[in-house]
Amino acid sequence: MTSVIEVAAPSAVGRTTNKMSIVMFSGTADKFIPLGVLAQAGAAMGMEVEIFVTGFALRAFTKEHPQLPFPAEFAEMAPALAQGMEASHVASWDAMMRQAKDLGAKVHVCSMMCGVMGLTLDDFDAELVDDMVGAATFVQSAEGSETFFI
Amino acid sequence: MEQTATTTLVDSRGSACPGPITDLALAYRRSKVGDVIELWATDPGVKPDVRAWAAKTGNQVMSIEDHDGKIVVVVQITKR
């Protein structure tokens, strides 16, 4: 398993796997930027992209489309960051996710955490979520692939 | 009957990473072997990214040129 900060690490270079797996766990706005970038870039590279959404990330994928909070330690930077991203024409995380899905990425929500949070598949934006699975399905599908935990 | 090879211009200027490489991937989906895709971009990440994309997908980068901030990449489609 590789964490987000190690994306460009030399150890990741030279792998021949053609699959990228992402466990999306965090629920803050900052973490959704690497999710969108990795998913879209992986899909554009012709890789099979599988995203398992669980924990605090689930709510962002619902039909409610809640405003995502910034973590307290970066709150001061948030306005400047938002301004910079707009000036650089960086796409929103959900636009990147839609693009990734258009290129074949698959998004699965975690059945256990959905149960805990009282969410059913109907609560999710069908354009962002494909299905609901258990952890074993994801572990099996991620076997042998590059896996990121965000 | 063989189809004629075409050249497609993809203008991704102003689009941030991973926009240009995604635009290239979308044009690639509509292409056939022998086609040429010319990609215009301003995000400097496109230079190494296009080489990585070509290595990953088995296509060929013919040239990468910088014209006052406009990066012009020419890719030959050799694999579909």
Residue pairs between chains A and B whose CB atoms are closer than 8 Å: 39
The per-residue pLDDT for B2 is 63
Domain contains A57: yes
**Among candidate residues B68, B48, B64, B65, the one with its CA nearest the CA of residue B56:** B48
Q: Domain holding B42: CATH number?
A: 3.30.110.40
Residue A5 pLDDT > 70: no
Strand partners, B12: B41
Alpha helices (H) in B1-80, listed in sequence order: 19-29, 46-57
The DSSP H or E segment spanning A43 is: helix A29-44
Q: Domain holding A119: CATH number?
A: 3.40.1260.10
- Is the Cα dihedral A46, A50, A55, A58 positive or negative? positive
Domain contains B9: no
Domain contains B4: no
**C-alpha A100 chain-centroid distance:** 10
Distance to chain A for B3, nearest Cα, Å:
24
**Among candidate residues A110, A146, A105, the one with its CA nearest the CA of residue A4:** A146
B45 burial (CB, 10 Å; 0-12 / 13-18 / 19+) is middle
The chain B residue lying nearest A86, using CA atoms, is B16
Q: What are phi and psi of A75, to 5 degrees?
A: -55, -35
- The parent domain of residue A76 ranges over 18-149
Report the domain count for chain A: 1
Neighboring chain A residues of B15 at a CB cutoff of 8 Å: 89
- What confidence tens digit (pLDDT) does each residue in A68-81 have? 999 999 989 999 99
Report the domain count for chain B: 1
Q: What is the mean pLDDT of chain B?
A: 94
Q: What pTM, to 2 d.p., does this model score?
A: 0.86
Closest in A37, A47, A88 to B18, CB measured: A37
Per-residue pLDDT band for A109 (boundaries 50, 70, 90) equals very high
Alpha helices (H) in A45-142, listed in sequence order: 78-87, 93-102, 111-117, 135-142
Task: Compute the distance between CA of residue B28 and CA of residue B59 in angstroms, rounded to an integer.
Answer: 10
- The parent domain of residue B40 ranges over 17-76
Tell me how crowded residue B38 is: count the other CB atoms within 10 A of its CB.
16
Q: Supply the ipTM of this predicted assembly.
A: 0.85
Which parts of chain B sit beneath pLDDT 50?
Answer: none
Distance to chain A for B26, nearest Cα, Å:
8
Which residues of B belong to the active site?
A: 17
Q: Enumerate chain A positions whose Cβ falls within 8 A of a Cβ in B.
A: 37, 40-41, 43-47, 88-91, 96, 99, 103
Residue B41 tokens, joined: 């971009």
Biggest CA pair distance of chain A: 42
DSSP designation for A120: -
Distance to chain B for A6, nearest Cα, Å:
17
Does A99 contact B22 at a Cβ distance shorter than 8 Å?
Answer: yes
- What confidence tens digit (pLDDT) does each residue in A92-105 have? 999 999 999 999 99
The per-residue pLDDT for B3 is 75
Domain contains A13: no
- What confidence tens digit (pLDDT) does each residue in A40-51 have? 999 999 999 999
**Among candidate residues B77, B36, B41, the one with its CA nearest the CA of residue B57:** B77
Tell me whether the omega of the peptide bond preceding residue B18 falls within 30 degrees of 0, making it cis: yes
The per-residue pLDDT for A6 is 42
Closest in B14, B16, B56 to A46, CB measured: B56
